[in-house]
Amino acid sequence: MSQARAPSLSAPHDVLAFLVGVHGITGPRMISVQRKGQQAILAQLQSNMFPDNAEFSSTHTVVEGRRYFVCFDLACHQHDPKNASYLFIRLLYPGKAISICPEDDIPDIMESLKECAFSSLISMIELTG
């Protein structure tokens, strides 16, 4: 009888992610990530990226073959999307985070936001950016 092994964590490494939010917090952020098992990643988020009481959720999105892991505050996303923030982490493949290249990945991020019906957030960014 074989025992199931717990997913192993890789050594942490830093990647450039992109935070999309309101109140002037949109922009690149250096974060530490770890691979957990075959497809999951753990991100160590800075305290000023999301509210202290954030209920984190995540999803994956693919734009023209490029993969992104997106972290966000679920309650804010559902009830107050105009004040929500979304952290995009570029994936080489599931479980392997790499740095975002802003000049290449910003159009993908904007497309992801449009597809996910975050149009009010996009309008605010376009007005302030």
Residue 122 located in a structural domain: no
Residue 5 located in a structural domain: no
- Taking CA atoms, 21 is separated from 50, 62, 81, 88, in Å, by 9, 20, 10, 11
- 48 vs 68: which has the higher pLDDT: 68
Residues 57-84 have a mean pLDDT of 84
Residue 100 located in a structural domain: yes
- Give the per-residue pLDDT at 15: 92
- Give per-residue pLDDT as tens, 76-91: 888 887 778 888 999 9
Domains of the chain: total: 1
Residue 22 located in a structural domain: yes
Q: What's the whole-model pTM score?
A: 0.76
Residue 119 located in a structural domain: no
3-7, 96-100, 116-120: range with highest mean pLDDT:
96-100
Q: How many CB atoms lie within 10 A of CB 44?
A: 10
CA distance 97 to 74: 22
In terms of residue numbers, what domain contains 107?
Answer: 13-112
Amino acid present at 69: F
Residue 129 located in a structural domain: no
- Give per-residue pLDDT as tens, 27-49: 888 888 887 766 566 777 666 67
Residue 84 located in a structural domain: yes
CA distance 55 to 33: 19
N-term to C-term CA, the chain: 59
